[in-house]
Amino acid sequence: MAKEVTPTKRSKKQKSMLVPGLIVLFLFLFVSFSYYAYQIVYTPNVDTKDQETYVYIPTGADYQEALDSVEATGVIIDKLSLRFMAKLMDYDELVKPGRYKLENGWGNRQLIGVLRAGQQSPVKLTFTNVRLRSQLAEKLAIAVEPSEEEIDQLLDDQEYLQTLGFDTTTVVSMFIPNTYEVYWTTTAKDLMERMHTEYNKFWTAERKAKAEQLGLSQKEVSTLASIVQAETIKSDEKPRVAGVYLNRLEKGMLLQADPTVVFSVGDFSIRRVLNVHLQHDSPYNTYKYKGLPPGPINVPNISSIDAVLNPEQHSYIYFCAKDDFSGYHAFAVTEAEHRANARRFHQALNARNIMR
């Protein structure tokens, strides 16, 4: 006779089989979730392919715009996990503008952590071969967030510049060409203040004393340095050229510096200064007006400034380019010697058919 299993006994048996199954299911889900969570947090999600990659998050950008900027770099492997982690870390409430370097192999947690902490990568700011104030604004704007127009507006603000001790004709001398580290989000005004600080650091007590011995202000040194820089690209010749102009100033002579004429005319393609150029009426035309021009004709570099502060002691009054086109100059004490040197150079120009 078959033995009957009561409903109560059957339920107990099913329950005893169900509990281990639930435990296994729970453990499976827990392990799966833990693994996925680990993947989201720690698995590398940045692949730069060993190339320097930066993301720029503009001032005022919101959460969506910030993440769009990150993804636009093209180095994010899993965008969904990045956004999940960003929400988990409250990045939507902690967006900070800046320039951030994305490192190869970063996980989402590390990447979002850097962004929300505002740990910017500094920009190396350099500016060389700057002739005009507008060019200075352009070069500065390449490295920082403020626009060329914003920077140029300050460079043209006479009232503001007076608070720094400059005006619109001398302000370029405040910028000492070097390599500086700044943050991309530096404002135009903060950038000006930084350059003013660097200017004051550059003008040490020793440099100030040398300028005083020459009877020149710091701005006048920079103005003369800009002429020296325009005259020669040879650093070893700069102190000699500076000595020539200092001799002329001491004698009360016209400087007669061709680069100032070119600057006053505004045509920087001129290779040969002619009489028509010399007649141009401008306070920068040192063939017409004695002394130094109102301000620098370019942004002089450190070697040019130091050449003026440490000029070669000599009796030369004249110089002109050598006829071998080496970039060096022939120097003379007398006008007769100078005319002979100039004649040879003009003959060389004519031979090469260089008219202007």
Which residues 6+ apart lie within 8 Å of 282 measured at CB?
Answer: 264, 265, 288
Q: Output the pLDDT for position 128.
A: 87
For each of the domains in the chain, give its residue range(s) and CATH number, in order of start.
53-117 (3.30.1490.480), 124-202 (no CATH), 205-351 (no CATH)
> Which two structure tokens, joined as six digits, stand for 150?
């914003």
Which residues 6+ apart lie within 8 Å of 144 measured at CB?
Answer: 123, 125, 182, 183, 184, 185, 186, 191
Q: Output the pLDDT for position 354.
A: 67
**Tokens 């490192």 — which residue?**
103
Tens digits of residue pLDDT in 168-179: 999 999 999 999
d(CA 151, CA 186): 11
* Continuous H helices in the chain: 7-42, 63-72, 79-88, 108-117, 133-143, 148-155, 158-164, 188-202, 205-214, 218-231, 238-251, 258-265, 275-278, 302-309, 335-351
The dihedrals phi and psi of 74, each to the nearest 5 degrees, come to 80, 15
> Which two structure tokens, joined as six digits, stand for 16?
């005893």
**Model confidence band, residue 273 (pLDDT cutoffs 50, 70, 90):** confident
pTM of the model: 0.84
pLDDT at 13 > cutoff 60: no
Tens digits of residue pLDDT in 186-235: 999 999 999 999 999 999 999 999 999 999 999 999 999 999 999 999 99
pLDDT at 342 > cutoff 80: yes
- Beta-carbon count within 10 A of 323 CB: 17
Q: Output the pLDDT for position 23.
A: 55
d(CA 249, CA 227): 13
Question: Which of 291, 335, 339, 289 is CA-nearest to residue 316?
Answer: 335
Q: What is the dihedral of CA 228, 233, 235, 241, to 10 degrees?
A: -30
Question: Which of 219, 205, 208 is CA-nearest to residue 161?
Answer: 219
pLDDT at 308 > cutoff 80: yes
Question: Which of 288, 175, 155 is CA-nearest to residue 225?
Answer: 175
Q: What is the DSSP string of 2-61?
A: PPPPPHHHHHHHHHHHHHHHHHHHHHHHHHHHHHHHHHHHHSB-B--TTS-EEEEE-TT-
Q: Do residues 104 and 48 lie in contact, with contact meaning Cβ atoms separated by under 8 Å? A: yes
Q: Output the pLDDT for position 350.
A: 84
Percentage of residues of the chain with pLDDT beyond 90:
79
Tens digits of residue pLDDT in 24-48: 445 444 444 444 555 666 689 999 9
Q: Give the DSSP letter of residue 235.
A: G
